[in-house]
Structure 1
């Protein structure tokens, strides 16, 4: 049985890019939560003592105010609202560093996991999620089971961390009633710091493992069959029919360009039944002659027709025409080992054609005097 329809192949970059556009990315919320806790820990370590001193001073001011007014008339509504708004403002100032730090760290870790991404398709309403049958299936899916196991692990890890921290600080916690406010507050702050650090580390380990699992699950979900890969390649590169058509169009353009260059040739070498090669020498542009057109069979006859119509000399030289056709590409210069043979042809053409004598003289300056090759147009040797 063929496995062409089984999704056993890794997803292609295009498949992954299409999934990103739909919002299908590997991301762990547990890793984000762990890093946010780490950011809060950083804020606590930097500004914790200052915040604690500010909080103690705030409570002292509150209690002093209460003691001052306790022997007077009951607190009015305006006084209560003023006290309440002042407390809210002070607490907001205390919490602002935590909130800003949590937002920065949360945005950074999400950017690290999914890279810059704007997936509008992911925010479109999907009414199939309201289907109770589909919802029931999701409740008992593999993903739901994994999330359940993760939840149990998180509860177990957080509970274990809290238990060990409290156990280590149990003696201190039982004696806080006999301490001053500053001493007790400092100790409680350190206990909370240790507990937060332990929970953050536990969630980080769990989150890192979860992120790797999410990547694995995404790659598994995006797997492709061999037929899907073939279809994608066909869609991206074009069908064989389209490739053949494009190749035909390209060849047609090349033929038209070569035929348009034939009138500028100095000579067309022929192997009368198969090949035609048009050569041009312009010393102002190139140090050596170059092939400006060549063709076989039908195209060879077409080159001859154009050359004849524009008065371009033609000369039969079977070995040279065959060698030039096989070894020299269009718009390339003649290779050194064919210089002498081509020079003989050009010397003869320049001698026969008065309009090309200036080119002949320049050519002789480059290669030296050439012997009379004894060639005749369209007839090979005399």
Structure 2
């Protein structure tokens, strides 16, 4: 993508980019870290199980080399001794193998975490493409890997040669030593050699791990255009998002308009604002706004209210205050309780008069003079 657009990869990878890469099995890994952990596990296992291993090896050698005349001339005894030796060797090495296997499992997930992907197992034509293979062979990454391999070989080989040269006398003397001391000295020598080589691999891993993290982050980086395209694909194109918001508004308005016939009163500006209020004393502690709108929506609310004989009162300051302070299906703020209570009291008295002509008609309060706290006042007409 960057090559096609000519843009540089300057942006950090997004979580979506990293997630898609992990799904494909592309995560940061360090072979040197795994090798170091396996070798250190081998050293640790020899420290822990070395004594047991030496005892079992000595016992196995004694049983295999100290044979009587009957066993020497019995062909079947050869298989019996072989089976016993295999069993003894397996028991002696079991602890070592378990620790090494555990290190081999932990090593790959120590950098990049646990990741299982079936996509990484799927065959790809690019893997057997000779041209792509040649490009990979002569790429910068291959050159770095070659340099790492040569450096590792030189470093480990050099340390190994130095160690072997320093202990050459001890190694030669093992051939003249008695059986038990020779095995013990050989194991101690192996342990110390492993320890020195592990120390060398720690240096290599300490260099390789930061490099692998840097290389992976660099590979995952994105161009500015890729970030924009991903954001657009994730959140949708602006025209689609606009259409979705429009549909959501239409759905919300239709639902709101269905509640207007259930309102107790509609308070208007009288033309720009309209707020429909309902008071359910059994289920609510305060009146709620069931619908509100300005201009065309306000006109629609008034039309529905007229169709269903919902009382409409003109109280411009109160209509504006409720519109700007309260959302649909929310209760009226405490600061507007008194003003709304006066309106509802008049509406309920008017309804009672209509139902029972024997009572005197209520006098309409001066709605323009309702007490509206300053924090709720909006002078917009």
- Give the TM bin, normalised by the shorter chain: 0.7 to 0.9
**1:101 pairs with one of 99, 102, 106:** 99
Q: Distance in 2 between matches of 1:250 and 1:34?
A: 59
For normalisation by structure 1, the TM-score amounts to: 0.86
Once residues 199 and 238 of structure 1 are traced to their aligned partners in structure 2, the CA distance between those partners, rounded to angstroms, is 55
Q: Which residue of 1 aligns with 2:38?
A: 36
Kept in 2: contact 1:320–1:341 (CA 8 A): yes
Q: Per-residue displacement from partner, 1:344-371 (whole Å, max 9, x unpaired)?
A: 21121111111899xxxxxxxxxxxxx9
Residues 298-344 of structure 1: per-residue CA shift (max 9 Å, x gap): 11111112112222111112222222222222222222332332222
Count of matched residue pairs: 360
C-alpha displacement of 1:179: 2.7
Question: Is residue 49 of structure 1 aligned with residue 40 of structure 2?
Answer: no
* Shift of residue 269, structure 1, vs aligned partner: 0.8
Partner residue, 2:29: 27
Q: Which residue of 2 aligns with 1:63?
A: 65
Q: Residue 60 and residue 356 in structure 1: after superposition, are their counterparts in 2 closer, same or farther (change >3 A)?
A: farther
Q: Distance in 2 between the 1:257 and 1:130 partners?
A: 60
Which of these residues, 207, 210, 224, is aligned with residue 209 of structure 1? 207
Q: How many Å separate the matches in 1 of 2:338 and 2:247?
A: 37
Match of 1:9 among 8, 11, 15: 11
8 Å Cα contact 2:56/2:88 also seen in 1: no
Instruction: Find the aligned partners of 2:39 and 2:276 in 1 and give their Cα distance.
Output: 78
- Tell whether 2:269 aligns with 1:271: yes
Structure 2 counterpart of 1:138: 136
Relative to 1, partners in 2 of residues 1:287 and 1:128: Cα closer, same or farther, differing over 3 Å? Answer: closer
Contact preservation (8 Å) 2:71, 2:77: no
Contact 1:344–1:373 (CA under 8 A) maintained in structure 2 = no
The answer for unaligned runs of 5 or more in structure 1 is 358-370
The answer as to whether partners of 1:23 and 1:122 remain within 8 angstroms in 2 is yes
Q: Rate the CA distance shift 1:225–1:169 in 2: closer, same or farther, 3 A.
A: same
Which residue matches 1:249? 247
Which residue is equivalent to 1:169?
167
Q: Does 1:199 align with 2:197?
A: yes
TM alignment of 1:1-382, pairs within 5 A: 5-65=7-67, 68-69=68-69, 75=73, 77-354=75-352, 373-374=364-365
Cα distance change of structure 1 residues 270 and 27 upon mapping to structure 2, 3 Å threshold: same
CA shift for structure 1 position 285: 2.4
8 Å CA contact 1:262, 1:307 repeated in 2 = yes
Conserved 8 A contact 2:305-2:311: yes
**Change beyond 3 A, Cα 1:95–1:355:** farther
Contact 1:265 1:312 survives alignment (8 Å): yes
Unpaired segments of 5 or more residues in structure 2? 356-361, 371-381
Describe the SS at the equivalent of 2:119: helix
Tell me if the contact between 1:268 and 1:313 (Cα under 8 Å) persists in the aligned partners.
yes
Q: TM-score, normalised by structure 2?
A: 0.87
